Every structure is written in structure tokens, then in C-alpha cells.
Amino acid sequence: MEEAELCFPQLLNSSCRKPEPPHSVLIYILLPSISVLTVTLNLLVIISISHFRQLHTPTNLLLLSLAVSDFLVGLLVTPVEILMTMTCWMLGDLMCALYYMLPIIIISASAGNMVLISVDRYIAICDPLHYHTRITLKIGTICVLLCWLCSFIYSVILLYDSLKQPGRYKNCNGECVINITGAVDLVVGFIVPITVIVALYMRVFVVAVSHARIMKSHVASVSVKHLKTRKVKKSEIKAAKTLGILIVVFLMCYSPYYCVSLTGHDILIGSSTEAFMIFLMYFNSCLNPIIYAFFYPWFKKATRIIVTLQILKTNSYEANLL
């Protein structure tokens, strides 16, 4: 090996080769652009839900938590992943293990948020009379905090060996590689959440179809009370459909990565063979706010107010978005 190809030329016998840069110029443009777009769009979601009082609902609180995790992916995780595909790891073994805690926490929190969203829609559709007493902002806040706390604890458990003995899985200096037990991550991080999500949404789908048939059969009703009830049910069903699309996209982006575990092998994070699946998972963070833009009118209105700087006006938080 020539010295110019080594991460640490002074360590001839233990240094890694420098990663070969992508041959396509498109990669240099596409990946950073996706990172910037992810940060920008999710920041708009965070500002919208945080600022406008009308959006302070338990469901939107879960979307806010999801937007925070997506924002962190675009701001911190994706840029470092891009750099790691082009340069050597120079920050040491301990920092390598600590760095990988971040994406594990974020990915686990995202899966947890999806479960909470499914539970929220399940109660809203299947038990609408008790929804507002069971699901409040206080309860939603507690659930979100517990979700992030459990994600942190899970990341520590999953990376215990790498944190206890940093660098034990690397082959040479200049490499940042950790080892995750595929079976544990597959069951806890994917199979259990997905099973809960699918089971709840199958029930939501059946009840939503039933509600739709009932509403169609009472179209001729002139009762104002019944009309308001139908409007509420219609809005809840629409919200369930939108969040259902969110979950389907989540499954499409995350399934390829976890399917590797079905082979029974451990997942070697940091290897080039995992790069595509990892970036596909991170790309989900960019798709979520795009889904909001297509299906949530309040997001379009809030974005318009933010971009035109009307948000700086007095009492802008009282704007009518719904």
C-alpha cells in the first residue's frame, strides 16, 4: 500500500486504507441536498406545531416528537455518515461508539413515535367518546418523554460491549465499526413495534370503513348535532389515513435494513454493504414532512406564515390554520 492511501501513514501495519470517494459527482450533490432539505422541512414542522396554539393537540405533539428525531437525522447523523464514506475516522474508538448511540436513539425513538401515533389513532377511531379524557397533552408529553428515555436506555444496552471496550470490532486504525446483535435489534427495534402498529391499524381500518358506511347511510339527516358528529368522524378518519401513509412509508424505508437480520447474522454497522440501507432509513426523515405538506392543509398555511415572516407579528400564534 502506498502511504498516500493510508489513513495513518506512520502506522504501516495497522492503518486502514482511505475510503475511495464516490465516482459520481451526483453523490456529492444529492446527499448533502437531502440533508439540508431534511433539516429545513422538519424545522418548519417544529416551528409550526410549537408556535401556533391551534396545533397544540396530543396527535400533533407526537408529530412534533417525530419531527425532532427527523431534524436530528438531517442535522447530525446524515452529514457524519456522508463524511465517513469519504474520509477516515479520526476521533478515536470511544467517540465512535458514542457517535453510534445517536442514530440508534433516534431510530428507536422514531419507531416508538410510530407506535404512539398508532395508539392515538386507535383510541380516536375505536373509542372516540373517551378519546379527549384518555389522551391529553399531559399524557402525550409523558409518553413522548418515556419514549426518548427508553430509546436512550436501549442504545446503551445494545452498545454495551462497544462502550465497555471501544474499538474491539475494528480491523484497523481509521475505521469506525461497531457490532450489534442482529436478533435483539430485529425483535426489539422492528418486529415488536411493527406488530403493534399493524395490529392497531388493521383494527382502525375496519372501524373506519364501518364509520364511512354509517355516514353514507345518514346523508339525508338534517340534525345539526348529527352533522357535527359526522364531521368529527370524517376528520378523524382522514387523519388516520394520513398517518397510515406515514407508517407505510416508514415500513418501506426501514424494512430493508432489518431484513438483513433475518439471515441470522449480526449487523456490522459502518461497513460499505450497509450504506444504501442506512441512507434509505435516513431518507425517511426527509419524506415525513413532505407527506405533511401533501395531506395537512395546516402545514401549508403555517409554512406560508413562517416564510413570509408573518410569524413575527403580535398574536401570530392565534392564527386560524384549521
Tell whether 285 is covered by a domain.
yes
* Banded model confidence at residue 162, pLDDT cuts 50, 70, 90: confident
CA distance 286 to 4: 37
**pLDDT one-digit tens code per residue, 237-283:** 666 677 778 888 888 887 777 776 666 555 555 555 566 777 888 88
Contact by Cβ (8 Å): 288, 38: no
Specify the number of domains making up the chain.
1
Q: Tell me, what CATH number does 73's domain have?
A: 1.20.1070.10
- Of 48, 41, 60, the residue nearest 305 (C-alpha): 48
Tell whether 5 is covered by a domain.
no
Q: How far is Cα of residue 128 from the mean position of the Cα atoms in its chain?
A: 27
Tell whether 32 is covered by a domain.
yes
Q: Grid coordinates standing for 298?
A: 395546516
* Banded model confidence at residue 16, pLDDT cuts 50, 70, 90: confident
Q: Which domain holds residue 64?
A: 25-318
Contact by Cβ (8 Å): 177, 268: yes
For residue 224, the model assigns a pLDDT of 46
CA distance 298 to 302: 6
Tell whether 277 is covered by a domain.
yes
Percent of the chain with pLDDT over 70: 80
What's the pTM?
0.83
Tell whether 13 is covered by a domain.
no
Tell whether 294 is covered by a domain.
yes
For residue 143, the model assigns a pLDDT of 95
- Who wins on pLDDT, 83 or 2? 83
Alpha-carbon dihedral angle through residues 56, 146, 75, 189, given to the nearest 10 degrees = -120
Tally of CB atoms within 10 A around 231 = 11
Residue 231 reports pLDDT greater than 70: no
Q: How far is Cα of residue 187 from the mean position of the Cα atoms in its chain?
A: 18
**What's the number of CA atoms in the CB half-sphere (13 Å) around residue 310?**
13
Tell whether 1 is covered by a domain.
no
* Banded model confidence at residue 218, pLDDT cuts 50, 70, 90: low
Distance set, CA 19 to CA 81, 92, 174, 181, 275 (Å): 13, 17, 10, 26, 13
Tell whether 8 is covered by a domain.
no
